[in-house]
Amino acid sequence: MTGAWSAARLVVERDLRLAFRNRAQLLHPLLFFAIVTTLFPLALSPEASRLRDVAPGVLWVAALLSSLLAIEFLFRDDAQDGTLEQYALSGQSLTWLLFAKTVSHWLLAGLPLALMSPVAAYGLGVPTSAVPGIVASVALGTVALSLLGAVTAGLTIGIRRGGALLSLLTLPLAVPLLIFGAQATARAIAGSGIAGPMYFLAAFTVLGITLAPLAAAAAVRISLE
């Protein structure tokens, strides 16, 4: 039997390979993020000073919504073609395999979002000195979001037109991430230390790593019954 590490590596490799064979699905959440952050200057005003004030909120709400789009695809294809059932029957810990799946999901959705956020931030009049803080906070926040999304996506497997329901389930639970993520971004823009909110984000991430894969495995098992 395959060891736990190589099983996880195989899951991640498979997910990455599938994603790169179907690049459009990777790009859609990122495009959505770019478009939403473009809409705000059009709706509010092109003035840099006003945009800078709302930039943390705009960036984080856009990041949250585009992550939600990505979360919808987290289990969908694997549930349809029976891969998830194979995972559940493989004799490996389903918790562990889903954790690996969450890691690959973050690599494909969260990390690109974090790397793209400085571009969107620059468009909103954010000084370049804030870039490291913004990238770090989005990168950390999306880890916790992927973990949370694994639970809610697991619960909504097989529900037809589950997209709206998925948002209803995920967004209230993501409120703390939004608060501390936006706070970290606001502090990075203001040039003050971001350590405080980042510690909170890190704490949520650790809590998520500990509990979310267990809940996700329970959810997936129930959905597969």
Partner 1 sequence: MDWTWFHRFGSPPHLYRIAGRLMPWFAWPTAILIALGLYGGLVLAPPDYQQGDGFRIIYVHAPSAWLSLMAYTTMALAAGAGLIWRMKVAHALAASCAPIGAWFTVAALGTGMLWGKPMWGTYWVWDPRLTSELVLLFLYLGYMGLRAAIEDPQRADRASAVLAIVGLVNVPIVHYSVEWWNSIHQAPSVMKFGKPTISWPMLTPLLIMFVGFTLLFAALVLVRVRGEILRRERQSRWVAEVVAS
HSE at residue 144, side-chain half, CA atoms within 13 A, is 27
Q: What does 88-124 look like in DSSP terms, one character per residue?
A: HHSSS-HHHHHHHHHHHHIIIIIHHHHHHHHHHHHHT
Of 138 and 157, nearer to partner 1 (C-beta) is 157
Rounded to a whole number of angstroms, the minimum distance from the CB of residue 26 to partner 1 is: 28
68 binds partner 1 per the rule CB under 8 A: no
At a CB cut-off of 8 Å and minimum separation 6, what does 150 contact? Answer: 71, 74, 75, 98, 101, 102, 105, 212, 213, 216
Which sign, positive or negative, has the C-alpha torsion 62, 66, 67, 72? positive
Q: Please report, as residue ranges, which positions from 142 to 161 form the binding site for partner 1 (by CB under 8 A).
A: 151-152, 155-156, 159
Q: Please report, as residue ranges, which positions from 165 to 184 form the binding site for partner 1 (by CB under 8 A).
A: 165, 168-169, 171-173, 175-176, 179-180, 183
Token couple for 12: 């991640």
10 binds partner 1 per the rule CB under 8 A: no
Of 14 and 50, nearer to partner 1 (C-beta) is 50
> Distance between CA 205 and CA 207 in Å, rounded?
5
Binding mask 71-110 for partner 1 (x = CB under 8 A): ----------------------------------------
> Distance between CA 84 and CA 7 in Å, rounded?
14
Rounded to a whole number of angstroms, the minimum distance from the CB of residue 29 to partner 1 is: 22
Rounded to a whole number of angstroms, the minimum distance from the CB of residue 67 to partner 1 is: 17
Rounded to a whole number of angstroms, the minimum distance from the CB of residue 7 to partner 1 is: 24
Place of tokens 């370049």: 128
Of 52 and 116, nearer to partner 1 (C-beta) is 52
Q: Under DSSP, is residue 54 helix (H, G, I), strand (E, B) or coil?
A: helix
Of 123 and 176, nearer to partner 1 (C-beta) is 176
Rounded to a whole number of angstroms, the minimum distance from the CB of residue 178 to partner 1 is: 9
**Integer-rounded Cα radius of gyration of the chain:** 18
Site residues for partner 1 per CB under 8 A:
151-152, 155-156, 159, 162, 165, 168-169, 171-173, 175-176, 179-180, 183, 200, 204, 211, 215, 218-219, 222-223, 225
